[in-house]
Amino acid sequence: MLWIKNGRLVDPKSQTDRVCDICIERDRIAGIFSPGGADQKHREEDRMIDAQGLVVAPGMIDVHVHFREPGFTYKEDIETGAAAAAAGGYTTVICMANTKPVVDNEETLSYLRERAKDMPVHVLNTAAITKGFKGEELTDMIGLKALGAVGFTDDGVPIKDTAIVMEAMKMAKALNVPLSFHEEDPALIGSFGVNQGPVSAAVGVEGAPAVAEDVLVARDCALALSTGAEIDIQHISSGTSVAIVRAMKALGKNIHAEATPQHFSLTEEAVLEKGTLARVNPPLRTEADRLAIIEGLKDDTIDYIATDHAPHSREEKEKDMKSAPSGMIGLETALALGITHLVKPGHLSLSHFLEKLTVNPAALYHLDAGHVAVGGKADLVIFSEDETWTVGESFKSKASNSPFIGDTLQGKVKFTICDGKIVYSDGKF
Ligand code: NCD
Ligand code: ZN
């Protein structure tokens, strides 16, 4: 058995926030006791983690990662992606389908389900909404769901044809699976990855305006209201989009949205300082947008914090602003960015912040995860809320394309436990 002694258990689902001792047997939580329980009940052969002064929370769930397998394993593969997740405090991640080939067929999905088996954390897969991400014809959503796809998305490529989105939503509703959407209408975009305005002008690209996101957010929320499908508006970056989602959510509870640490921590100014490392789709925008995202997190317009962990190689990111790919890694810095930029300044309580990384994403994807209960799964993160550290250049991820390198952040993962096993510890154990 494994004991976690004297930790502050913060479990948003049960609204628990108290110091206790937790006992884990195999892959389950066998007991939660008042402090002192571990000393009384533990046996000689049990392992013990001293969590005095640390927070114990449900293992985090990321609804949006790119693990690049198959096709782009020079950027990341499932092993390195899963190791990065464990180091970040995540025990469940949901992979996007923009691999090569895209996950639009049974063979690719079966391969990925097989690969996920021996990983330190739970690696789940979405499949594509449209064949080849072309936005023309739906995939065999019934067959792909039966093979284990937990949801569907063409993330990375917005779907232009409204009728196709409508058809996909009707199918998703019938199958009781969520759809997630990358909202940027290419018709309104000069170039991807940098907000259109003074910053795009300064770096010599045409840029992507917020309105390109807003129009598709409005369209897809309207379609979700009409069809009843559960949808997730991905990586919301525009303040107007936050307002649209807020208004639409008042009309239907099947509309959800995610925000990334980069969009609540940074503004477009980062592009001037960090270059292509800050190029991301949708782009980092203005301070007003950033504050609107924080408001959206506070009033639960935004349900999830998702990393959009998007690894790229050094060579790719060393290209100029026009040709470097968009995206940044995020798994290993998300918890600290949230604590530093949301919890410590008083925008969200620790429990409210963790809600968006645990119980809320578990509900969207119908997962038995994201809470701590006797008899439940032993998927946990143990972290210090106060310890400061400086983001270095070496990551468990194969990639290091992070604009946060060099930043000093508060909040440090100490242990990640998945299925009752310690899959990450920041020191010797
Ligand atoms: C993502 C990637 O690299 O796969 N990049 C990004 O900038 N977010 C794709 C995407 O979601 O656009
Ligand atoms: Zn995307």
Q: Identify whether residues 217 and 235 lie together within a single domain.
A: yes
Per-residue pLDDT tens digits for 369-406: 999 999 999 999 999 999 999 999 999 999 999 999 99
Please report the atom of ligand 1 found closest to the CA of residue 326: 7
**Is the backbone peptide bond immediately before 282 cis, with ω within 30 degrees of 0?**
yes
Domain harbouring 384, CATH code: 2.30.40.10
User: H or E segment at 80?
Assistant: helix 78-88
Domain harbouring 308, CATH code: 3.20.20.140
Q: Which domain holds residue 7?
A: 2-56+375-390+408-425
Q: Closest by alpha carbon to 229, among 281, 296, 153?
A: 153
Q: Indicate whether 413 belongs to any domain.
A: yes
Q: Identify whether residues 133 and 117 lie together within a single domain.
A: yes
Q: Indicate whether 320 belongs to any domain.
A: yes
CB 411 within 8 A of CB 336: yes
User: H or E segment at 212?
Assistant: helix 210-227
CB 357 within 8 A of CB 426: no
Q: How many CA atoms lie within 13 A of 425 on its CB side?
A: 8
Q: Identify whether residues 277 and 250 lie together within a single domain.
A: yes
Please report the atom of ligand 1 found closest to the CA of residue 279: 7
Whether ligand 1 lies within 6 angstroms of the CB of 281 is answered as yes
Q: Identify whether residues 51 and 167 lie together within a single domain.
A: no
Ligand nearest to the CA of 281: 1
Q: Identify whether residues 35 and 106 lie together within a single domain.
A: no
Q: Indicate whether 397 belongs to any domain.
A: no
Q: Identify whether residues 66 and 211 lie together within a single domain.
A: yes
Q: Which pLDDT value is given to residue 39?
A: 87
Whether ligand 1 lies within 6 angstroms of the CB of 260 is answered as no
What is the CA(14)–ligand 2 centre distance, in A? 32
Please report the atom of ligand 1 found closest to the CA of residue 325: 3
Q: Which of the residues are catalytic?
A: 308
* pLDDT under 70: residue ranges of the chain: 428
Ligand nearest to the CA of 181: 2
Q: Identify whether residues 272 and 328 lie together within a single domain.
A: yes
Three-state secondary-structure class, residue 369? coil
Q: Which pLDDT value is given to residue 350?
A: 98
CB 141 within 8 A of CB 113: no
Q: Identify whether residues 160 and 282 lie together within a single domain.
A: yes
Nearby residues of 346 by Cβ (< 8 Å), 6 or more positions away: none
Whether ligand 1 lies within 6 angstroms of the CB of 316 is answered as no
- Number of domains, the chain: 2
Q: Identify whether residues 197 and 261 lie together within a single domain.
A: yes
Q: Indicate whether 370 belongs to any domain.
A: no
Whether ligand 1 lies within 6 angstroms of the CB of 208 is answered as no
Q: Report the nearest-CA residue for atom 4 of ligand 1.
A: 310
Alpha-carbon distance of 259 to 51, in angstroms, equals 30
Positive/negative CA dihedral, 85, 90, 92, 93: negative
Q: What does the DSSP 8-state code read for residue 188?
A: G
Q: Which pLDDT value is given to residue 31?
A: 97
Q: Indicate whether 396 belongs to any domain.
A: no
Q: Which pLDDT value is given to residue 42?
A: 85
Q: Which pLDDT value is given to residue 428?
A: 67
**Is the backbone peptide bond immediately before 403 cis, with ω within 30 degrees of 0?**
no
For tokens 């300082």, what's the residue? 273
- Edge-first strand listing for the sheet containing 90-95: 60-65, 90-95, 122-127, 151-153, 179-181, 231-233, 255-259, 304-305
Q: Indicate whether 23 belongs to any domain.
A: yes
Q: Which pLDDT value is given to residue 38?
A: 84
Q: Identify whether residues 42 and 111 lie together within a single domain.
A: no
Q: Identify whether residues 272 and 413 lie together within a single domain.
A: no
Q: Identify whether residues 314 and 180 lie together within a single domain.
A: yes
